[in-house]
Amino acid sequence: MGATTLLASQTAAAQSLDVIVTKDNLPYTFSCTPVLAGTEKATLQLKDNAGGYSDFYQDGILQELGATNMAVSIFGPAIFRIDKDITATATAVIGQSHGNI
């Protein structure tokens, strides 16, 4: 399955629209291009039943993109978004399904 731009290339802080991950498109991978630098982060957030968002932890580890963590893969269905910090270089966030859609 092809990659989808979730956030267009920009330096501003931004949040993506909802990304619906189903059992049919698992695993689903989030990445940035170009790779984030220094302490820049793009955090994966989970949507709850009331429509709010919270940072997503998997096995007790915050799931975020950064200079040393260049991709995050999700292995369970849910609704997510990306919350990207301000970046020095224009950066896009990409999502890609590896499932059987």
The domain spanning residue 93 has which CATH number? Answer: 2.60.120
Asked whether the predicted pLDDT for residue 2 surpasses 90, the reply is no
Confidence of residue 76 (pLDDT cuts 50, 70, 90): confident
DSSP single-letter state for residue 80 = E
| Alpha-carbon distances, residue 27 vs 30, 72, 85, 89, 94 (angstroms) | 10, 10, 25, 28, 14
Confidence of residue 100 (pLDDT cuts 50, 70, 90): low
Expressed as residue numbers, the domain containing 72 is 3-97
Say whether the peptide bond before residue 34 is cis (omega within 30 degrees of 0): yes
Asked whether the predicted pLDDT for residue 49 surpasses 90, the reply is yes
The mean per-residue pLDDT over the stretch 10-28 comes to 91
| Residue 1, pLDDT score | 58
> pLDDT by residue (tens digit) across 37-47?
999 999 999 99
Average pLDDT value for the chain? 92
Confidence of residue 101 (pLDDT cuts 50, 70, 90): very low
Domain count within the chain: 1
